[in-house]
Structure 1
Amino acid sequence: MSSRELASQHQRWTAYQDLPKLTNHWYWRPGWRADRQFYTWHLTFEHQPELHHLVADLQRQLALPGLDLVPLDGLHLTMQGLGFTDEVTNTDVAAVVAETRRRCAGLPPLELSLGPVDPDAEGIGLLVRPWDRLEHLRATIRGAIGAVWQTVPEASDGFRPHVTIAYSGGQAPTGPIRTRLNDLRHQQPARVTIRQASLIALRREHRSYRWTTVATTPLDA
């Protein structure tokens, strides 16, 4: 594990020890509402039995008050937002997809490790590593957007790759969750191979994130 990854995990775990209550993840962010969807580039995890087995095992032990478990078909890694679907034209979507595919054509599949558990106030995730390949893919996607638009949404810095397996559903006390996480911190991570990035139309539905896949870009160099 790189020093950045190790430092991030240690810092977040230390902060979690002093956290008395969870923060409800499901408040409405600016611009969001129940009938609105958002275009965003994600990595998704279909057909990943090793990861699904790990997550199912962890979730069996994290069925605790205050946590909303993520369905296996809802696991995702957020890469780069594009904009609300009612604000981005179909022409721009097509141009961004075409440019992203062109720029990603030379990139190989991503070999990633997911785990161990990595909690914060709004949920419990899995540490994802290595970061450098994901950062390169994100920069490539941002470059493609920048070739179509003068301004690329979202900040270029502050990206922390993670896959959430449980969101906080309310201001539950963290003590029982910390106790359970102490027993889970040393489980072996899962290995995955990611062969595409997906542009999705993301929505919130019954305290979970669901989506429709709009386009994909292969990683198959």
Structure 2
Amino acid sequence: MSLVDLAPGQHAAHVRNHWWWRPGWHVGRRFYAFHITFEGQHQLYRAAKAYRTSLAEMPSLTLIPDRWLHLTMQGIGFGDEVAQELAEKIAGEARSLLADVPAFEVEFGPIVVADEAIVMPAEPAEPVHELRHLTRQAIGRVLGEDRIGEDPDRFRPHVSVAYVTAEGSAEPYVEAVGRVNVEPAHVAIKHVDLIEMHRDQQMYEWRTVATLPLR
């Protein structure tokens, strides 16, 4: 089951390969999106490292290094379909909308084994939902409401620490993360990033187009 379909604290029963090629994706193609990134967030790094260490000997996983930890928020579109000047205009709209939102703190606590990834959900989720709502507004203002992708109701903010690369039972991964004893990570959310990313090497890697600070 997808993370958004799991009850709090519930794990999926089965897992599958995260790296199947979703519609439109291929090697070399780039995608604009709003993400929250975590430069210098050492509590998050500590928690992620504890889980990566426990999972290191497990088969069929892509472990995510600190550099590429992120909270996926809202996609915009492929770089060959959304011109750079439009992406920059969307960033400007989002900058204005986000400027009045106060910075806040979330906690990344108990790990969840979802269908394609092993993740730490963010709590409370509501402030992140508000950020996503505002980024969707920014996209709509520039591209039109009909160009806002992704279901607004199917979103559960989280940070992935590993992606699954094969189909099978979730139980071995549940057991591995269950052995970890680590304090929840408290993370200050002070900005949203508009990024241009790719997945050419079975890792989400990106360049930052714009950093949009919160108040």
Q: Give the match for residue 164 of structure 2.
A: 168
Report the AA paired with residue 98 of structure 1.
Answer: G
Contact 1:41 1:82 in 2 (8 A): yes
C-alpha RMSD over aligned residues:
1.7
* 2:170 counterpart of 1:177: no
Runs of 5+ unmatched residues, structure 1: none
Q: Distance in 1 between matches of 2:149 and 2:202?
A: 25
* Structure 1 residues 58-207: aligned runs within 5 Å: 58-63=51-56, 64-150=58-144, 151=146, 152-184=148-180, 187-207=182-202
Q: Distance in 2 between matches of 1:199 and 1:141?
A: 10
The one of 14, 17, 25 equivalent to 1:24 is: 17
Contact 1:116 1:188 in 2 (8 A): no
My pick for the range that moved more, 145-154 or 168-177, is 168-177
Q: Distance in 2 between matches of 1:105 and 1:174?
A: 41
Q: Distance in 1 between matches of 2:85 and 2:173?
A: 46
Runs of 5+ unmatched residues, structure 2: none
3-state SS of paired residue (1:116) = coil
Which string of whole-angstrom CA distances, capped at 9 and with x for unpartnered residues, describes residues 61-116 of structure 1? 11111111011111010111100001101231122111111111101113110121
Q: Distance in 2 between matches of 1:95 and 1:24?
A: 35
Report the AA paired with residue 61 of structure 1.
Answer: S
Contact 1:51 1:191 in 2 (8 A): yes
3-state SS of paired residue (2:134) = helix
**How many pairs align?**
208
3-state SS of paired residue (1:73) = helix
TM-score normalised according to structure 1 size:
0.88
Percent same amino acid at aligned positions? 37
Contact 1:50 1:190 in 2 (8 A): yes
Contact 1:202 1:211 in 2 (8 A): yes
* 2:210 counterpart of 1:215: yes
TM-score normalised according to structure 2 size:
0.91
> Could you tell me how far 1:188 is from its partner in structure 2?
2.3
> Could you tell me how far 1:173 is from its partner in structure 2?
4.2
Q: Distance in 2 between matches of 1:94 and 1:178?
A: 41
Q: Distance in 2 between matches of 1:167 and 1:102?
A: 34
> Could you tell me how far 1:178 is from its partner in structure 2?
2.3
